[in-house]
Amino acid sequence: QKEVEQNSGPLSVPEGAIASLNCTYSDRVSQSFFWYRQYSGKSPELIMSIYSNGDKEDGRFTAQLNKASQYVSLLIRDSQPSDSATYLCAVNIYAGNQFYFGTGTSLTVIP
């Protein structure tokens, strides 16, 4: 079992809709969780970090963490064509220096 699992997609949503991206992780002691956006041919760009159970909002983005279910998600409200990219979930194990990335979910926002 991989440490971080994501649905590779592709996920397509119409412009203005909510895009929901999901990620599960295997290590129960994981403490830090991150969402990155990666445009084709570019490097990952940090969108959000989340460390505690619950929701964290930043503009159109909301990260949700449920440690009991080992699940982290990213909601993108009012999706725009410029949001079309691959979204990577990353997990850091407590007191460890290794970060595990999922394979990413490809999102397309249709104008």
Mention every residue, 6+ apart, whose C-beta is less than 8 A from residue 94: 29, 30, 31, 32
> How many chain residues interact with other proteins (CB under 8 A)?
22
CB of 59 to other proteins, least distance (A): 17
If DSSP codes are grouped into helix, strand and coil, which group holds residue 82? helix
Smallest separation, CB 70 to other proteins (Å):
18
Question: What is the contact mask toward other proteins in residues 11 to 50, using x (rule: CB under 8 A)?
Answer: ---------------------x-x-x-----xxxxx--x-
- Contact region with other proteins (CB under 8 A), list: 52-60, 65-73, 75-83, 91-99: 91-99
Separation between Cα atoms, residue 59 and residue 61, nearest integer Å: 5
Q: How far is it, in rounded angstroms, from Cα 43 to Cα 50? A: 21
For residue 54, the cross-strand partners are 65
- Give the number of other Cβ atoms within 10 Å of residue 105's Cβ: 22
* Smallest distance, other proteins to C-beta of residue 55, A: 19
Question: Is 65 a binder of other proteins (CB under 8 A)?
Answer: no
Binding residues for other proteins (CB under 8 A): 4, 32, 34, 36, 42-46, 49, 88, 90, 92, 96-104
